[in-house]
A = this chain, B = another copy of it.
């Protein structure tokens, strides 16, 4: 098994680099009775053990399992600092990820026994506690330019390899304010993709203050909360939003953009932070 060490100041983190195929080919029959080979996105269970305590089984594409595990622990509030983690070892043979922390997670059993599983199309999260924790957040209120959105959408076109090949996955990205893609991830579930990027931000030292979070998934309450939790104040989606996603974005002062495709988008919250410096030229048909 490959492995690497990740150094941050005095801290050394042991990481496996477990890799597995992301797609495989299968034969399907279409409506004409013709057989064709198509690519399918892989899906595999990964059971997470924190200091030998079984926590959860994540169904994942498996693109970057170490970052997924790290981001899951981060977004669930089970690990506060990257420095607390000594090792993450993923073994696809047995579908297990073993995480070792340098000190015991305070009140782990209590945290696990009292947590309320919240689920929409989501993972278990501590909804009430999380909102209380987020209420004290002071997200950076920087202004975004429309031209930066378009640069970002153009840059993303080359990244969604698995989706273009096999479909059935969601994509997420962390980008700079200028639209440069710092990290991109695809997964079966949109929450896994978000968690993987939360893990990568820690591992790569990506700062959230001037970052934009992009997702192909819908902007539900959990998606908005996770973005805020990462310290990111601009959230952009190709899909729509729910009423609660909007409410939480307003409460936490996120700039929320939905249905971003081509030159089109809709701004749902914090509209005053957007500078419309690149309005598309109206074509004759648009005025009809």
Contact = CB atoms under 8 A, between A and B. Distances in A.
Interface of A: 23-24, 26, 28-33, 38, 40-45, 47, 54-60, 113, 116-124, 127, 146, 166-168, 170, 188-192, 218-222, 239-246, 258, 263-268, 271, 274, 276, 279-280, 282
Contacts of A222: 59
Contact of A44 (B28, B168, B219, B244): B244
Copies in the complex: 2
Contact of A264 (B31, B119, B190): B31
Given A166-B240, A266-B29, A59 B221 contact: yes
B117 A124 contact: yes
Contacts of A240: 40-41, 166-168
A163 to B, nearest CB: 10
Contacts of A190: 121
Contact of A32 (B45, B245, B280): B280
B268 A26 contact: yes
A273 to B, nearest CB: 11
A154 B57 CA distance: 38
Contact of A42 (B38, B168, B242): B242
13 contacts: A23-B243, A24-B243, A28-B267, A30-B267, A42-B243, A43-B120, A43-B245, A59-B221, A117-B123, A120-B188, A168-B240, A168-B241, A188-B242
Given A243-B26, A263-B31, A267-B28, A43 B221 contact: yes
B31 A265 contact: yes
Contacts of A56: 116-119
Given A26-B246, A29-B274, A57-B119, 20 more contacts: A29-B271, A30-B265, A30-B266, A40-B241, A40-B243, A43-B242, A47-B116, A57-B117, A58-B118, A58-B119, A59-B118, A59-B220, A119-B122, A119-B124, A121-B122, A121-B170, A121-B189, A121-B191, A167-B239, A168-B240
Nearest to A125: B57
A244 to B, nearest CB: 4
B59 A244 contact: yes
A239 B24 CA distance: 17
A279 to B, nearest CB: 6
